[in-house]
Amino acid sequence: MLISNAYAQAAGAASQDPMAALSGFLPMIVIFAAMWFLMIRPQMKRAKEHKAMVEALAKGDEIVTQGGVAGRVEKLGDAYIQLEVAENVKIAVARNAVASVLPKGTLKSL
């Protein structure tokens, strides 16, 4: 026939070289280190900066929410803040929904 028989070979002796074991894990270690420095660490830094910004909010600050609503902080609560978005128009927004704090005087129409 065209196909020849395949015979099993005897197993070789197990390698006792510790460098061989390390070289198998080295690519995984390098990939984890790259993921840490390129993705995880910057995300933790951004989260820390956002938390500090939200905690530093004060009455009268002008902010923009993640939904794009701009307004002036009227009241601060533990979980929510009250924004004045127009004259005599106030809305409640979750504190974590604040995207950025604007420079004073940006919202002159309020």
With a CB cutoff of 8 Å and minimum separation 6, the contacts of 54 are 95, 96, 98
- CA dist 35 and 32 (Å) reads 5
What is the pTM for the complete model shown? 0.70
Residue 70: predicted pLDDT = 95
| Residue-range domains of the chain with CATH | 57-102 (2.30.30)
Span 73-88, average pLDDT: 94
Question: Residue ranges of the alpha helices (H) in 36-110?
Answer: 41-55
Q: How confident is residue 1, by pLDDT bands cut at 50, 70 and 90?
A: low
Q: Which residue from 4, 108, 7, 101 is spatially nearest to 53, judged by alpha carbons?
A: 101
Rounded to the nearest 5°, which phi and psi values hold at 54? -65, -40
Quick check: 95 pLDDT over 80?
A: yes
pLDDT digits (tens, 9 = 90+) for 40-59: 999 999 999 999 999 999 99
